[in-house]
Amino acid sequence: MDLITVLLSFVVILFLAIVFKNQGKYKNFPPGPKPLPIIGNVLMLDMSKPHKTFMELSTTYGPVFSVQIGMTKTVVLCGYEVVKDALINHADAFSDRPYAPVTAKFAKNNGVIFSNGENWKVMRRFTLSTLRDYGMGKKTIENKITEEAECLVQKLKSYEGKPFDNLTIINAAVANIIVTILLSHRFDYEDPTILKLMAVINENLRLFGSPWVRLYNSFPLLMDWLPGAHRTIFGNIKEFQKFIRATFTKQKKELDVNDQRNLIDAFLTKQQEGKPESTEYFHNENLTILVGNLFAAGMETTSTTLRWGLLLMIKYPEIQQKVHNEIERVIGSAEPQMEHRKQMPYTDAVVHEIQRFGDIVPNNLPHATSEDVTFRGYFIPKGTAVIPLLHSVLREKTYFEKPNEFYPEHFLDSKGNFTKNEAFIPFSIGKRSCAGETLAKMELFLFFTTLLQKFTFHAPPGAKLDLEPALGFTSGPQTYEICAISRT
């Protein structure tokens, strides 16, 4: 018997064993399209933009349905009511992250984004308390954002109204806020270190949304033998972690537990407390992954939202003008502050609508069931991957009058007052919601208002503005150039 026959026989036996084992496990499982052997529903999914396929499938199978990617069954939740029911009313049952080979290879249940169990609880508790200690939601970090916004203004002025690509400088400005909390440091926008770190993060976020990664998660043993995006991702992560380790190794030598300067100092101090959790949770591998988690998350979603904001202001100059008018009326030439937001309902509505329309993480980060659960009449076994589809919430017609249009009036009442919308959950909800939500909201308002106070933005002559998102794990705008004309 030749090698190929042996391998094929092994695959068939493995497949039949899994099918037999799961026959009872998936009784009364959410409905979905019939999967093919081995590959599941891969051929019918838009692997670059799976949220589009999920929306189509929900019209056939309802708001709770399943798909199979490779051998892995995944439950998809659509619409605000269903997502809220799972993540709030059944919070404990849906609070895990699924096992994914591509993240398991480097995270190994460390950090806060991809970890589970007690490690996740300890790291999230530490992250939230430390972010608050170092200014999240307070005047201290507001002042840092205001200072950084002024640096960004000076950089934009240096282009003297000529076209430029804003990706790198907006990434760097936003990154400097989380870097301040992590390292007590800010980088110049041309610093080779920050340029390199941003480059590897941006490349990985683009590749994490590629079909290659989804194939790797389905067939890791096979994909490990093949070239592809996964190899680039692992190389980038290795380089990024090398920088993080070098940074905290240096800080460890300078550490003064009575004068903790930043989050890394706070973590290193925990290491030295001599408690059981110091050894079990506050080790260097956890620190490496945690800092990487916070750096990437703290930079990417906020900077991508701001880039959507500037593109949309160019696309809709009449909305940009209304924002200018409100800024002039409420702030004038003074420095924008968070206290101004309550007096600026239109600008606040525009910022919210940028987040909703931008739909930055359409698939959400995947969840998993931490226990067997009966949900909406279906049985979902422990360990099942679950996608609470944020795209289906932010584009839900029940809550948003014009879901596929950029329409700030979604957040304004008939008298022009700002009004909340319960389906506005770009940071997700529940126990896995974004730990930096308060910081991100502050950054978005202050950066956006400062830029619109100082500049009028428009497209270069003859440019075509495309609102179709670029491919990637996050849903950012395509590369575009912008002209910033000083208003002062």
Three-class SS of residue 384? coil
56 by DSSP, 3-state: which?
helix
Instruction: Determine which helix (DSSP H) or strand (DSSP E) holds 168, and give its type and residue range.
Output: helix 167-183
Was 483 annotated as part of a binding site?
A: no
Count of C-beta atoms within a 10 Å radius of residue 326: 20
Q: Which residue is it, tokens 């270069």?
A: 460
Task: Report the run of H or E that residue 402 belongs to, with start and end.
Answer: none
Distance CA 210, CA 212 (A): 5
| Nearest one of 344, 349, 309 to 329, comparing CA atoms | 344
Look at the alpha carbons of 171, 367, 284, 261 in this order and tell me if their dihedral is positive or negative. Answer: positive
Cα 350 from Cα 410, distance rounded (Å): 9
Distance CA 188, CA 169 (A): 10
Q: What is the DSSP annotation of 195-259?
A: HHHHHHHHHHHHHHTSHHHHHHHH-HHHHTTS-SHHHHHHHHHHHHHHHHHHHHHHHHHH--TTS
- Give the three-class secondary structure for 134: coil
Q: If you search the block for the tokens 């590629």, which residue do you land on?
A: 210
Whole-number Å distance between alpha carbons of 395 and 404: 7
Half-sphere exposure of 103 (CA within 13 A, CB side): 20
Q: Crossing angle of helices 317-330/284-315, nearest 10°? A: 110
Residue among 94, 89, 51, 45 at smallest CA distance from 70: 45
Residue 472 contacts residue 209 (beta carbons within 8 Å): yes
Under 8 Å CB-to-CB from 455, ≥6 apart: which residues?
Answer: 153, 156, 484, 485, 486, 487
Structure tokens at 326: 């409100």
Binding site, by residue number, is 434
Binding site for heme, by residue number, is 434
